[in-house]
Structure 1
Amino acid sequence: MESRTRHIDVHITRPMSEVYVFAADPLNLPRWASGLAGATVERDGEQWVTESPMGRVTFAFAPRNELGVLDHDVTLPSGQVVHNPVRVIRDGDECDVVFTLRQAPGTSDEEVERDAATVAADLTTLKAVVEAL
């Protein structure tokens, strides 16, 4: 099966730097990223741990940067590591957040559609939360 890639995005009427700082803080994930984070997020060395809809997962963000790179690797309960490319892209005094979703080998189209809907819902929540700050 050929791997497919989908970009899911949202436009946020807040400055890129504010959105990036908020979204890059793992402790804020329970406020907007229900597809990844449960009610609590805890630090474990260089990684973070949370109870997710997929079970207990660990994750690590790319180092803080001024480019808006929010890439993060999620280690699933199975031990599989999923790389999630995410960008916060400046658009004047506003920004776009773009999540790249890749269909892993062995993943059905239905599973990808479900993941895409979860990511879209999380980005919509991020927009609402950050625009309300």
Structure 2
Amino acid sequence: MDTTGVSRHLGIHIDRSVTDVYACARDPANLPAWALGLGGSIERIDGRWVAESAPMGRVVVTFVAANDLGVLDHDVTLPSGETVRSPLRVIADGAGSEVVFTLRRRPGTTDTEFQRDADMVLADLRRLKNLLETTTDRR
């Protein structure tokens, strides 16, 4: 079965302003606190953000330029050189925000693997929610 173009939009409401959520999620230094899918540590090496990811090894994370649209798309360059683009948005939702990650199914990914990836993304989004809703000034 061809799974090209199959995506899932995974979102969560966060009781913080778009400005607060965007600032926190956009800062690569905050990734280890909520984006465990990218690894438990990240450091700036030669101007690039390099994360140590248990399943993938060392990966380079590059966000799009800062913007006023809530766009947090980022590329993850794997040790093989392959780059995976990850669409991520922060959208106003009343006084709070909705964070939406678009999970794209990569060729050769089984249904079980795709569900596992979705579960990992949702766990990351829940950690971001918890981080932002339990701190008063997290940027």
CA RMSD of aligned residues (A): 1.1
Separation of aligned partners in 2, 1:52 and 1:66: 30
* 2:102 corresponds to: 100
- Aligned residue-pair number: 132
1:42 corresponds to 2:40: no
Separation of aligned partners in 1, 2:39 and 2:63: 13
Structure 2 residue identity aligned to 1:111 = E
Structure 1 residue identity aligned to 2:33 = R
* 1:18 corresponds to: 20
Cα contact 2:3–2:106 (8 A) shared by 1: no
Runs of 4+ in 1 over 6 A off after TM superposition: none
Separation of aligned partners in 2, 1:63 and 1:45: 18
* 2:52 corresponds to: 51
Could you list the per-position Cα deviations for residues 65-123 of structure 1 after superposition, in whole angstroms to 9, with x for gaps in the alignment? 11110100001122110000000001232000000000011111111111100000000
- Of the candidates 32, 46, 59, which is equivalent to residue 30 of structure 1? 32
Deviation at 1:2, TM superposition (A): 2.7
Separation of aligned partners in 2, 1:50 and 1:2: 28
Q: How is 1:46-85 mapped onto 2 (pairs within 5 angstroms)?
A: 46-53=47-54, 54-85=56-87
Q: Identity across aligned pairs (percent)?
A: 54
Structure 2 residue identity aligned to 1:51 = E
Separation of aligned partners in 1, 2:98 and 2:88: 10
Separation of aligned partners in 2, 1:2 and 1:34: 26
SS in 2 for 1:77: coil
TM-score, normalised relative to structure 1:
0.94
Cα contact 1:90–1:96 (8 A) shared by 2: yes
SS in 1 for 2:101: strand
Separation of aligned partners in 1, 2:116 and 2:11: 16
Cα contact 1:70–1:88 (8 A) shared by 2: yes
SS in 2 for 1:120: helix
